[in-house]
Amino acid sequence: MPTSPDTIATAAFKPASWTDPINWTDVFDTAGPVEVEIGAGKGTFLVWAAQTRPRSNFLGVERRLDRLRKIDRKIKRLGLGNVRLLRLEAGYLVGKLIPDRSVEAYHILFPDSWPKRRHAGNRLIQPAFAQEMHRTLRPGGAVNLATDSADYFGQMRQVMGGSGLFQEAEPENLPEEARTDFERGFIAAGKPIYRCRYLAA
């Protein structure tokens, strides 16, 4: 929830161990449901979510340092005490550091689509990753996915729906102010947006 900007030196988080599961009480100042955005970009969705759900805690994951620094400045300016930022590869984070049944939701919005067919194996949404998300989600926890790629959307649905671990649900209906910069650009270019939502069984 909002605090004085002067009390937030940085939202950047560094785990005490890079091999042991994270203790969320070491990450956030107050207890609450934990939501993780993978590929936070410039932080538009992350900041919107943190402002509109102040009782939840949000971890934004992004590999590019320049983007993390921009989000960090925005968080400090707004005085958001329920957001932390982590620079780490998503597969390692979810597979090694996130405890069992401890996450309320994952948001994976417009991940790299790797459009060339020979590169499709590099996409984030793969069977092994889906299994790790399910392990770390609370029962009924959500995975929210969005992409501009019809091919990747098909893969997402095949992986998530075919895993037997999730039930498909109605996608989130996000307001315009929650749209990522990627989504705004795709819409401006006239590209369709594909969304899906899966709940942990």
Tell me how crowded residue 166 is: count the other CB atoms within 10 A of its CB. Answer: 23
pLDDT band of 119, cuts 50, 70, 90: confident
Overall fold of domain 5-115+125-200: Rossmann fold (3.40.50)
Return the higher-pLDDT residue of 131 and 173: 131
Using CA atoms, how far residue 19 sits from 11, 16, 97, 99, 111, in Å, is 21, 9, 7, 12, 25
The residue to which tokens 């947006």 are assigned: 193
With 0.75 as the threshold, say if the pTM is over it.
Answer: yes
Query: Does the structure show a pLDDT above 70 at 197?
Result: yes
Q: Which residue among 20, 29, 100, 112 is the active-site one?
A: 112
Mean pLDDT estimate for the chain: 93
6 pLDDT more than 70: no
Q: Span 78-101, mean pLDDT?
A: 97
The whole-number pLDDT of residue 153 equals 97
Q: Where are the domains of the chain?
A: 5-115+125-200
pLDDT-derived band of residue 170, with 50, 70 and 90 as boundaries?
Answer: very high
Verify whether residue 100 is a known catalytic residue: no
Cα 200 from chain centroid?
16
In this prediction, residues 150-165 reach a mean pLDDT of 97
**For position 8, what pLDDT does the model report?**
55
